[in-house]
């Protein structure tokens, strides 16, 4: 589960990139995204997100923005925020019995000294290209991490 603020730019990009890479890697995973804010509920991803993503072959069909719900803690082993503010929101809502991983997506991009995927909403095209670059790198690390975890008895860390 990938989480940003509006669920129309960064987290749908992460969902599309991770879904493509998980399929390529043969991982059987459920992938979704949500926003900590619900202003864009029901909307497709931002047209700029779709256009830049499509240039790299990613698919955004049938995606609609929604707000993160407490029920999501039931379904997802990894809940990954795009930035510190959204991570703080997730941590504040974390149920005591949630045993999964809540963290930053960029923590899986170990070779990059970058903690956050910057909000591209008010940026130009370069902001959306940067979002894709960062998310592609982090998703490669996340795939490698999950593959390594699934080879161990305990699946989540």
User: What positions carry a catalytic annotation?
Assistant: 4, 10, 119
Contact pick of 1, 2, 5, 17 for ligand 4NP (by CB under 6 A):
5
Please tell me whether residue 80 binds ligand 4NP under the rule CB under 6 A: no
C-alpha–C-alpha distance, residues 112 and 117, integer Å: 12
29 vs 67 by CB, closer to ligand 4NP: 67
State the DSSP string of 36-99: SS-TTTTPPPPHHHHHHHHHTT---TT----B--TTHHHH-SEEEESSHHHHHHHHHH--TT--
Applying CB under 6 A, which of residues 23, 25, 30, 39 lies at the interface with ligand 4NP?
A: 39
Among 7, 15, 50, 137, binds ligand 4NP (CB under 6 A): 7
Give the footprint of ligand 4NP on this chain (CB under 6 A).
4-10, 35, 39, 119, 121
């Amino acid at each position: 589960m990938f989480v940003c603020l509006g669920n129309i730019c960064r987290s749908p990009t992460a969902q599309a990139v991770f879904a493509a890479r998980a399929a390529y890697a043969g991982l059987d995973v459920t992938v979704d995204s949500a926003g900590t804010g619900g202003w864009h509920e029901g909307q497709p991803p931002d047209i700029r997100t779709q256009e830049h993503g499509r240039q790299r072959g990613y698919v955004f069909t049938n995606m609609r923005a929604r707000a993160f719900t407490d029920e999501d803690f039931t379904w997802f082993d990894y809940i990954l925020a795009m930035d510190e503010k959204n991570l703080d929101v997730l941590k504040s809502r974390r149920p005591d019995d949630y045993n999964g991983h809540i963290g930053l997506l960029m923590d899986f991009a170990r070779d990059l000294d970058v903690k956050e995927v910057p909000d591209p909403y008010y940026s130009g095209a370069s902001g959306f290209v940067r979002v894709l670059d960062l998310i592609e790198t982090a998703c490669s690390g996340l795939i490698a991490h999950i593959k390594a975890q699934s080879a161990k008895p305990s699946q989540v860390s």
